Amino acid sequence: MSSNLDKERPTGVKPQQVGRTGLGPGGMCKCSSCGNVIPHERGTPCSKKPCPKCGSVMYRE
């Protein structure tokens, strides 16, 4: 007995690299005074969020 397992394979398969770093789309907010870094919240500009440590203005990093 001879069985032919001749299955056609789709050759258009690309290995998708799903590698996510720690940096999200929002990035980070850094304090201009003490250097404290917090994750940036979507929809809220860093400049509108005072540093939780010292209360200074934060900027987007």
Query: Which residues are near Zn ion by CB under 5 A?
Result: 31, 33-34, 36, 51, 53-54, 56
Q: How far is the CB of 23 from Zn ion (least distance, A)?
A: 20
Nearer to Zn ion (CB atom), residue 31 or residue 46: 31
Nearest to Zn ion of 26, 49 (CB atom)? 49
d(CA 26, CA 43): 9
**Cα 53 to chain centroid, rounded:** 24
Q: In this structure, what is the dihedral angle of CA atoms 21, 17, 41, 57, given to the nearest 10 degrees?
A: 40
**Between 27 and 53, CB nearer to Zn ion:** 53
